[in-house]
Structure 1
Amino acid sequence: MHLSFSYDRKKVLQALRYHFISRPEIRILIILVNVFAIVAAVLFYMKKVRPEYFLLGSCLWLFMMASFWYLLPLTVYKRSQTFLDSFTIVFREEFVRLESTRGYVDWNWSSFSTYIESPNFIHLYFNTRSFFLVPKDNMSQEFTHELRALLRSKIGTK
């Protein structure tokens, strides 16, 4: 099975957002900041704390959401030359080959730790922080089902 693709900036940014928000440590941080903001709002409403604490909670929440939603994905996108190239990826029983105009790389299935699907991509994870995005734009339904079955048998999901 092989697939030729290039990346769409908007979809890549959305996939990077998905990656960051799905990280357990970021989820915990979001929950803690939300709890702090809610508690500060309730205490401010009850006139138990001064408005600075409520403002601090609101600013923390806004900064955190802006960083995870805009700053981190844009930074990763701008730093990586990968998203500017066109690729052909070949899925075989023995390995995965990624080809571009610069050359090719072969990855054994054991190189991947997990994979997940987002609305527009399949994220092939090497470890918890390193992954490769395979767009689903040019995939037919049949190709997608075959690829899912291959990935389940070779890697496994998160």
Structure 2
Amino acid sequence: MVIHFQYNKKQVLQALRYHFLSRPEIRIMIIVVNVFAFFSAALYYFEKITPMAFLTSSALWFFLMITFWFLLPGSVYRRTATFKDHFTMKFEQYSFSVGNERGSRSWPWEALKTFIETPHFFHLYFDTRSFFLVPKNGFSSKDEVYEMRQLLKEKIKR
């Protein structure tokens, strides 16, 4: 199977959000900050803390959400030239390859550790931090997306 694609900025930003929020350490941090914010709101309601303490905890919550929702995905998108290229990807029996006008690279399926599927992408993970986004809009039909999903399930042992 061969696909040709380029990235859509809004979709890539959403995919990066999925990536960051799927990280266990970020999830734990968000849960802890949300519990802390809820706890501080309850303490403020029962007049156990000052308004300044409640305002500080609220500012922390807002800063964290803005960072993970806007700043982090935006900075990764701006720094990575990959998202501005046009690509051709080939999926074969024993390997897959990615290429653009400057060259190409091939990997065996065993190089991938896992994958996740989001509304617009397949995230192919080489390790916990290195991944490649394969946009679903690069496929010519929903049948090809289904075939790709089956191929990934077959080739990548989770």
Query: What's the TM-score, normalizing by structure 2?
Result: 0.96
Q: Distance in 2 between matches of 1:20 and 1:146?
A: 27
Identity %: 52
CA offsets per residue over residues 37-87 of structure 1, 9 Å max, x none?
Answer: 111010011011111221111011100000000110011101111001000
Runs of 4+ deviating beyond 4 Å: none
State the shift of 1:110 in Å.
1.1
CA offsets per residue over residues 99-140 of structure 1, 9 Å max, x none?
Answer: 100100001111111000110000000111110000001321
Q: Distance in 2 between matches of 1:126 and 1:57?
A: 37
Q: Distance in 2 between matches of 1:26 and 1:97?
A: 31
Q: Distance in 1 between matches of 2:35 and 2:60?
A: 12
Paired residues in the alignment total 157
Query: What's the TM-score, normalizing by structure 1?
Result: 0.96
Q: Distance in 2 between matches of 1:137 and 1:84?
A: 16
Q: Which runs of 5+ in 1 are unaligned?
A: none
Q: Distance in 2 between matches of 1:111 and 1:57?
A: 43
- Helix, strand or coil: the match of 1:127? coil
- Helix, strand or coil: the match of 1:137? helix
What aligned pairs does 1:70-89 form with structure 2 within 5 A after superposition?
70-89=70-89
Matched, 1:150 2:151: yes
Name 2:29's counterpart in structure 1.
29
RMSD, aligned α-carbons: 0.9
What aligned pairs does 1:6-155 form with structure 2 within 5 A after superposition?
6-139=6-139, 140-155=141-156
